[in-house]
């Protein structure tokens, strides 16, 4: 998605998943693969996610901030700061089993686009990804958008229509 023709192709999007629960990380990966995502970087701990990444610029970031909420939110903030100013921001979704109001507020302040409670359905995750991506795209500066906007909007509308059927 970043700095390429902007048509929201899942197979071209890079995904970073950070979850200390290996079972949920596997489940999330399998669901995303079912949607067509193919480029993954998986981190099994928050400390692994803090290590600098090379040659991987994720378009979608899914983070479970537990057990160390502050470290998890710091990762989101750091990932947001590392993004190039000219690039579209990554979609950041917090996927967690605990969603108290203070966590939701802190996650939003750290840069999360959406918070999804575990357990979740594939439809809920897809809906949140599409909603967050369309929000990111609609709020992006026009200089960051490359390609035909109608193509992108049509792909979002088509995916949303398929989800609602």
> Is residue 116 domain-resident?
yes
> Is residue 57 domain-resident?
yes
Give the span between the Cα atoms of 115 and 5, in whole angstroms.
28
Contacts of 117 (CB under 8 A, 6+ apart): 96, 97, 99
More confident residue, 38 or 66: 38
DSSP string, the chain: -TTS--S--GGG-EEEEE-S-HHHHHHHHHHHHHHT--EEEEESSHHHHHSPPSS---SEEEE---S-HHHHHHHHHHHHHHS-TTSPPPEEEEEES---HHHHHHHHHHT-SEEEESS--HHHHHHHHHHHHHHHHHHS-GGG--S-HHHHHHHHHHHHHHHH-
> Is residue 5 domain-resident?
no
pLDDT of residue 1: 45
* φ, ψ (nearest 5 deg) of residue 90: -70, 155
> Is residue 109 domain-resident?
yes
Q: Of 6-15, 29-38, 41-50, which one has max mean pLDDT? A: 29-38
pLDDT of residue 164: 46
Question: Mind listing the pLDDT tens digit for each residue in 92-140?
Answer: 999 999 889 999 999 999 999 999 999 999 999 999 999 888 877 665 5
> Is residue 1 domain-resident?
no
Reported as a pLDDT band with limits 50, 70 and 90, residue 7 is very low
pLDDT of residue 104: 92
> Is residue 52 domain-resident?
yes
Quote the pTM value: 0.77
Whether residue 161 is predicted with pLDDT greater than 70 in this model: the reply is no
What's the number of domains the chain is made of? 1
CATH of residue 27's domain is 3.40.50.2300
Q: Could you tell me the residue range of the domain that residue 107 belongs to? A: 10-159
Task: Identify the burial level of 100 via C-beta atoms within 10 angstroms of its C-beta, where 0-12 means exposed, 13-18 middle and 19 or more buried.
Answer: exposed
pLDDT of residue 73: 92
What 49-52 contacts at long range (C-beta under 8 Å, 24+ apart), as own/partner pairs, is: 49/16, 49/18, 49/75, 50/74, 50/75, 50/78
Tell me the mean pLDDT in the region 69-82. Answer: 87
Give me the residue label for tokens 């600098």: 52
> Is residue 16 domain-resident?
yes
pLDDT of residue 127: 92
Tokens at 89, concatenated = 């921001």
Q: In what order do the strands lie in the sheet with 39-43?
A: 39-43, 14-18, 60-63, 91-96, 114-117
């Amino acid at each position: 998605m970043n700095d390429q023709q902007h048509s929201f192709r899942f197979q071209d999007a890079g995904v970073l998943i950070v979850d200390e629960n290996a079972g949920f990380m596997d489940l999330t990966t399998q669901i995303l693969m079912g949607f067509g995502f193919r480029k993954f970087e998986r981190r099994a701990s928050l400390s692994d996610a803090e290590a600098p990444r090379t040659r991987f610029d994720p378009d979608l970031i899914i983070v479970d901030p537990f057990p160390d909420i502050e470290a998890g939110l710091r990762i989101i903030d750091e990932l947001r700061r590392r993004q190039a100013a000219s690039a579209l921001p990554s979609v950041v979704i917090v996927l967690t089993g605990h969603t108290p109001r203070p966590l939701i507020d802190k996650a939003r302040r750290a840069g999360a686009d959406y918070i999804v409670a575990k357990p979740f359905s594939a439809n809920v995750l897809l809906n949140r990804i599409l909603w967050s991506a369309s929000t990111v795209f609609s709020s992006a500066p026009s200089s960051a958008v490359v390609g035909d906007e109608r193509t992108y909007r049509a792909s979002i509308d088509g995916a949303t229509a398929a989800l609602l059927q």
